[in-house]
Amino acid sequence: MNNLVILPIVIPLLAGVALIFFRKQIRVQRYVTTLSLLLLAVVTMVLIQQVSDAGTQTLNLGGWDPPFGIVLVADMFALLLMLATVIVAFCCVLYGFRTIGEAREKHYLYPFIHFLLVGVMGSFLTGDLFNLFVFFEVMLLASYILVSLGGTKDQLRESLKYVLINIVSSMFFLVAIGYLYAITGTLNFADLSMRIAETGQDGLITTVAIFLLLVFAIKAALLMYFWLPGAYVVPPMAISAMFAALLTKVGIYAIFRTFTLIFYHEPAVTHQLIAWLGILTMIFGAIGAVAYWDVRKILAYNVVIAVGFIFAGLAVFTEVALAGSIYYLMHDMVVKALLFLLGGVMIGLTGTDQLRKMSGMIRNHAALGWMFFLAALALAGIPPLSGFIGKLLILQGAIGEGFYILAAVGLVTSLMVLYSVMKIFMNGFWGENQLSVEDERMSTRGLLFPCAILATITVGLGLGVEWVNVYALQAAEVLNNPQLYIEAVLPNAD
């Protein structure tokens, strides 16, 4: 028992509930939000240290032993993603203080950001399929509101699509849980894993696994990404950045968790399917990213490409490739948030998101320009920066295990990613300066600081590979060896 494990859920929930009472006091809202996020970061780091020293930490809620009660499991994989979540959320909120505007802030913006975090943290921590569903819903309900908050015409149109698609996929999720419960009689991850290992993964269970894959793929934008570009383009940029960094990653986490812990017995069927889904996602995402001349759309399609690439590591399914995926996942959360925030500054300055209408911004905004350049290189995977090592490990694994098409598509789409973000950089920052400081629609005061934090982390993740790798390998070890997870959750089972 370790009550620290619940704190990443309790802190944002308490802060969110408390902020309902201070609707009009925006300063209080901002202070409490900053404070709770800092506290969350500290708790997550303490947990990472504990897990690193003493192995996976669990908490049986209410004192009921699993599989009968609800169990929360903090393993290294979940915690690394949680730390990235907190950092990204903190920077997006700092950015949001200056850009989102009072009207939205007074309508419960910060409570809903907190509830979104409750959902994300809960999804990472839970050790039980039905609780995963509940936390997914907590996250999705908060995200429905954050997409539509403000009530512009575009937001209403896109949020309708987003809500419809997610309700349908949540219903599928529930049906899949029903089937799985009927077959195995349990919903606890560790117990499920043990029972399926005993009875073997027959055709029926594989069918349910693919059904679950479909559900999570809709949430993670794995091939089923049609809702994503629209929904990520309409909210204010700070919210978009948070979505781009967090929402799809929870779906990705769910697929990683279920397909490494529970349904790992038929890789010829399920992991092969994941590989093809990943390949198609990368190709379609890359086509989208190259095709558009609209900053937000290009960035949104880059989210899709990264999803495909992360699944390459799962499809390969060796410990090194999984570590690569984990590393790439963390990198992608940070760098996507950074790119969205920088893109937001560019759109804010010029008042347009069309690339053809902006140019020469480097003259007045050198820091912004070079930070964007850095983020673009990190995204494409240029060696000293953070995207490199994850890509390297995944591609090494893919080539070593004979996934040549996957590796080739991964490499080619990396080029297309680089082309698409460099297109933004070259069109936006080079060339004739069209915009004098007086013509700009807003000032960058206070906006570059959160971007600088993220940029520093991107560089740090790249340069400090040796140091981060220890943790990434610990995470991959648990993913690759389900027995470790089962022993942590059910210490008395043999």
Partner 1 sequence: MKTNDVILQTIASVAAFIILAFAAYLFFAGHHEPGGGFIGGLVIASALVLLYIAFDMETVEKGIPVDYKILTGIGIGLSLLTGVGAMVLGYPFLSHTYEYVDFPFFGEIELATSLLFEAGVSLAVVGAILTIILSISEDV
Task: Give the footprint of partner 1 on this chain (CB under 8 A).
Answer: 1, 3, 6, 10, 13-14, 17-18, 20-21, 23, 59-63
Of 11 and 217, nearer to partner 1 (C-beta) is 11
Of 60 and 364, nearer to partner 1 (C-beta) is 60
Of 14 and 45, nearer to partner 1 (C-beta) is 14
Of 6 and 298, nearer to partner 1 (C-beta) is 6
Of 10 and 463, nearer to partner 1 (C-beta) is 10
Phi-psi region of 104 (alpha: psi -120 to 50; beta: other; left: phi over 0): alpha
b/e per residue 284-299 (b: at least 16 CB within 10 A): bbbebbbebebbbbbb
Tokens 């944002």 appear where?
Answer: 12
Minimum CB distance to partner 1, residue 386 (Å):
35
Of 120 and 326, nearer to partner 1 (C-beta) is 120
First-to-last C-alpha distance (Å) of the chain:
20
Minimum CB distance to partner 1, residue 9 (Å):
9
Which helix (H) or strand (E) segment is 312 a member of? Answer: helix 295-316
Q: Which residues, other chains included, contact 433 with Cβ-Cβ below 8 Å and sequence gap of 6+?
A: 359, 360, 361, 363, 364
Q: Which residues, other chains included, contact 161 with Cβ-Cβ below 8 Å and sequence gap of 6+?
A: 227, 230, 231
Minimum CB distance to partner 1, residue 101 (Å):
19
- Quick one: tokens of 490? 């059910």
- Determine the Cα–Cα distance for residues 278 and 304; give it in Å rounded to an integer: 10
Minimum CB distance to partner 1, residue 12 (Å):
11
Of 115 and 227, nearer to partner 1 (C-beta) is 115
Minimum CB distance to partner 1, residue 66 (Å):
12
Minimum CB distance to partner 1, residue 20 (Å):
4
Question: In 221-318, which ranges are continuous DSSP H helix?
Answer: 228-233, 237-261, 270-291, 295-316
Minimum CB distance to partner 1, residue 105 (Å):
16
- Residue 59 β-bridge partners: 72
What secondary structure letter does DSSP report for 58? E
